[in-house]
Amino acid sequence: MTRVFRGLGHLVSRRPWWVLGSWVVFAIVVVATAPTVTATTDQADFLPNTYDSIKGYELIEEAFPQQQQAGATVVFDRSDGSALTEADLARIAEISQGLDLGDAFGTIAEPVPSPSAEAAIVNIGLAPGVTGQDPEDLEQVEDLREQVGSAVEGSGLNEGVTGALAQAYDQTESGQNAEAIVFVATIALIVVLLGIIFRSLLIAFMPLVLVGIVSAVAGGLISFVEKAFDLNHDPSTSVILIVVLFGIGTDYILFFLYRYREARRDGIEHRAAVARSIERAGEAIASAGGAVFVAFMTLLLSTLGIFRSIGPSLAIAVAVTAIAALTLVPASVTVLNRALFFPSRKWQDPPRGTRFAAVGASLGRHPVRYAAGSGAFLIVLSVFALQFQPSFDLGESSSAADVESAVATATMEEKGFSAGATDPTPIVLHSSDGQPLTEDVVQAFASKVAEVEGVGQVTPPVISPDNASTAMIMTILADDSASDAALSTVKDELRPAVDEAAPEGTIAYVAGTAGVFVDFQAAMNRDYSVVFPVAAAIIFLILAVLLRSLVAPWYLMLSVGLGFAATLGATVLLFQQIQGEEGLIFLLPIYIYLFVVALGTDYNILMVARLREEAREGLSPRDAAAKAVEHAGPTIAAAGVILAGTFASLMLAGNSLLTTMGFAVSFGIVIAAFVMSMFFTPALTALFGHAAWWPGHGDTAPPGDPAPPVQQDTVHAP
């Protein structure tokens, strides 16, 4: 493997313009030919049709092709807080019937006053065939809001538009705002930190140019894959891709640059230093990128389309980034030569008495203390992970609390409407024996549904006009259909009740948003039991091949596992225990897995690879650990700070989903860099000694593979 990277280093350092030109041409071709992929925020699109909610939707589409889904709900109340008068209701009816709706909307219902008469709602259905997920559909929400806002001026009425389409619009807008905030914060952080670390203008701005090229290539390749394999595209992936590309991209750039600067400080000639840096850092970068790639690709084993979509997208981004770190970055460094470090004049001066040398020396003398202390810290935080409570309320967590749909929904609830009025939950009764359903049978079934606790209202059932094989009963839940309370109602009360109430020869399904999320929960639990073990096994194999050892991978995986649990535990401690939130978004563990586990493995690989290199120079296990911390510590610290900072920028996005995820992942990366990789892993390796490398004896220099002669640089910087 060393010879492969030695050959790559020779090629890139001798033909840098060929490499740069190839990247530019490839990027242009990919961007020019990449297909357009439509994003979807409909979570039903991400579930397979083996689940009850999807079976229910399929029956509705087949039996009631003209059935309109809920589109938007306009909420009216008086500005002075008093009850609506007859004149107010007449004015609301006039306003609603005078609306000039776009193609996305269908019929407009009559105004429905609340029991207290303090508010009224007007439900607007989606037009037949409209899913409400296309960007053109969402844009019509803004026009609807402008029309209603203009119509109520001077009437003494307040208005607000909520409902499925309006909530999707607000989520999309919130996501776009988050993307802009995260992009600006990430760029600023990278430029400032790299400028401080290297005191170089070119290095500070290098990731912007290089990651820009990588982003264009990765984005195009992702579109090709999603189109070819018919994968749904989740718009939230865009925000995460920004962080992944800039965060991991900067990490890998640092892995190379620290090696290059070290080689130059040792007096090695410029091109030889580039080649040697690829040789020495190449295996660590490739292995780290491979581990992250595998971790993301294992999400293809998921039954959830949202994970199957995110996994390959991030895996492609990481693969392109790793390849760029081994080719595009060193080629750019070769071309820039001395200008790379401008205006720094002391970049060739070796550091003296660094903190990392002191920490490494201390760890080498007292590995038991460092292993026990860091391990205890991880275990204590891991205990809190047992109290994790998942929340499925994506509507509340993925938008800011002050968006119009959230305010309008809150007004409805305050004025006496059931929270689920904007998004009814359909129940489907289907004949499984071929016999038509009768009015009496369906009505008796609907009466039993109405008695279920948590069901606020049941509309008269409708039987399919073709062969009377299917009936639909619309229910309004007492709670918002996307809330945890509604999910509990569907899972624990409604589904068991409809199964029991379904007459012989029929089968019943609960669909709707709440039904979809209940199935989401079941699918997620199944995925966790499959994806995590498979990913762990494959990463173990990568580590075993890289280290030529069957011992070290075990405690490295233990380290990463503790890092995952400690990260989840710290997030639970902060948000559930201290801030008092009832639960955390159900996607959180998978995102911690994606980034903390995968990237924690990155840092472990870098540290252990350096430790092995030092051991091959003839150092004892403890001295090798000390030197590894001294030399790899600055790289891991800088990479960890930058990557943690990029993920922390998600906390500026303004919604609880990205705030929680930003804290969790950034905290997890800090643990991975400064606890796992800096202390826990090298301390354990020092304690295991030569046994850590059994049976491959990777800590001894391989025979017959001498290092290339060192070429001294005869010209020094002023």
pLDDT of residue 624: 92
Q: How many angstroms separate the CA atoms of 187 and 246, rounded?
A: 8
Is residue 351 over pLDDT 70? no
Is residue 702 over pLDDT 90? no
Q: Which of 120-129, 285-294, 561-570 has the highest mean pLDDT?
A: 561-570
Identity of the amino acid at 50: T
- 145 vs 181: which has the higher pLDDT: 145
Residue where the block lists tokens 């800039």: 246
Using an 8 Å Cβ cutoff, are 191 and 204 in contact? yes
The tally of CA atoms less than 13 A away on the side-chain side of residue 597 is 29
Is residue 488 over pLDDT 80? yes
The four Cα atoms 89, 94, 95, 101 give a dihedral, to 10 degrees, of 130
Burial class (CB in 10 A: 0-12, 13-18, 19+), 173: middle
Q: Which residues pair with 506 in a beta bridge?
A: 431
State pTM to two decimals.
0.75
Tokens of 330: 């060193």
Using an 8 Å Cβ cutoff, are 480 and 420 in contact? yes
- 50 vs 446: which has the higher pLDDT: 446
Q: Which residues pair with 39 in a beta bridge?
A: 233
pLDDT of residue 708: 45
pLDDT of residue 687: 93
Q: How many angstroms separate the CA atoms of 48 and 57, rounded?
A: 12
Work out the number of other CB atoms within 10 angstroms of the CB of residue 320: 25
pLDDT of residue 102: 76
- 332 vs 223: which has the higher pLDDT: 332
- 173 vs 707: which has the higher pLDDT: 173
pLDDT of residue 328: 92
- 353 confidence band (pLDDT: 50, 70, 90): low
Is residue 67 over pLDDT 70? no
Query: What's the whole-number average pLDDT of the chain?
Result: 83
pLDDT of residue 239: 66
Residues 6+ apart with CB under 8 A from 715: none
Question: In this structure, what are the phi and psi dihedrals at residue 256, rounded to the nearest 5 degrees?
Answer: -75, -45
* Secondary structure element (H or E) that encloses residue 253, with its range: helix 236-265
Residues of the chain within CATH 1.20.1640.10 domain(s) are 1-33+200-343
Is residue 135 over pLDDT 90? no
pLDDT of residue 627: 92
Query: 323-337, 343-357, 557-571: which range is least confident on average?
Result: 343-357
Query: 80-94, 103-117, 169-183: which range is least confident on average?
Result: 169-183
- 37 confidence band (pLDDT: 50, 70, 90): low
Is residue 375 over pLDDT 90? yes
Largest CA distance in the chain: 98
The helix/strand/coil state of 10 is helix
Is residue 392 over pLDDT 80? no
Is residue 705 over pLDDT 60? no
- 323 confidence band (pLDDT: 50, 70, 90): very high
Q: How many angstroms separate the CA atoms of 670 and 678, rounded?
A: 10
Is residue 581 over pLDDT 80? yes
Using an 8 Å Cβ cutoff, are 263 and 483 in contact? no
The four Cα atoms 209, 210, 214, 219 give a dihedral, to 10 degrees, of -20
Is residue 132 over pLDDT 70? no
Q: How many angstroms separate the CA atoms of 459 and 109, rounded?
A: 14
Its CATH class, for the domain covering 1-33+200-343, is mainly alpha
Is residue 398 over pLDDT 60? no
- 165 confidence band (pLDDT: 50, 70, 90): confident
pLDDT of residue 12: 92
Is residue 697 over pLDDT 70? no
Residues 6+ apart with CB under 8 A from 207: 190, 194, 246, 249, 250, 253
pLDDT of residue 493: 92
Architecture of domain 69-169: 2-Layer Sandwich (3.30)
Q: How many angstroms separate the CA atoms of 393 and 485, rounded?
A: 9
Q: How many angstroms separate the CA atoms of 262 and 627, rounded?
A: 14
CA dihedral sign of residues 672, 675, 678, 684: negative
Identity of the amino acid at 341: F
Residues 6+ apart with CB under 8 A from 435: 505
Identity of the amino acid at 595: F
Q: List b or e across 361-390, with b for residues whose CB sees 16 or more CB atoms inside 10 angstroms.
A: bebbeebeebbeebbebbeebbebbeebeb
Is residue 517 over pLDDT 60? yes
Mean pLDDT score, 539-568: 88
Q: Could you tell me the fold of the domain covering 410-513? A: Alpha-Beta Plaits (3.30.70)
Q: How many angstroms separate the CA atoms of 59 and 316, rounded?
A: 37
pLDDT of residue 712: 44
Identity of the amino acid at 214: V
pLDDT of residue 565: 93
- 129 confidence band (pLDDT: 50, 70, 90): low
pLDDT of residue 396: 53
Question: What percent of the chain has pLDDT above 90?
Answer: 24
Using an 8 Å Cβ cutoff, are 550 and 694 in contact? yes
- 707 confidence band (pLDDT: 50, 70, 90): very low
Query: 69-73, 666-670, 701-705: which range is least confident on average?
Result: 701-705
Q: How many angstroms separate the CA atoms of 586 and 393, rounded?
A: 9
Burial class (CB in 10 A: 0-12, 13-18, 19+), 462: middle
Is residue 373 over pLDDT 80? yes
pLDDT of residue 693: 87
Mean pLDDT score, 549-577: 91
Q: How many angstroms separate the CA atoms of 703 and 701, rounded?
A: 6
Residues of the chain within CATH 3.30.70.1320 domain(s) are 410-513
Tokens of 164: 């499925």
Is residue 199 over pLDDT 50? yes
Query: 128-132, 258-262, 359-363, 542-546: which range is least confident on average?
Result: 128-132
Using an 8 Å Cβ cutoff, are 610 and 631 in contact? yes
Q: How many angstroms separate the CA atoms of 125 and 132, rounded?
A: 10
Is residue 110 over pLDDT 60? yes
pLDDT digits (tens, 9 = 90+) for 616-645: 888 899 999 999 999 888 888 888 888 788
* Secondary structure element (H or E) that encloses residue 591, with its range: helix 588-592
pLDDT digits (tens, 9 = 90+) for 1-36: 678 888 898 999 999 999 999 999 999 999 898 876
pLDDT of residue 574: 93
Q: Which residues pair with 123 in a beta bridge?
A: 73
- 50 confidence band (pLDDT: 50, 70, 90): confident
Mean pLDDT score, 124-137: 70
Strands 70-78 and 105-108: unpaired
- 175 confidence band (pLDDT: 50, 70, 90): low
Is residue 378 over pLDDT 90? yes
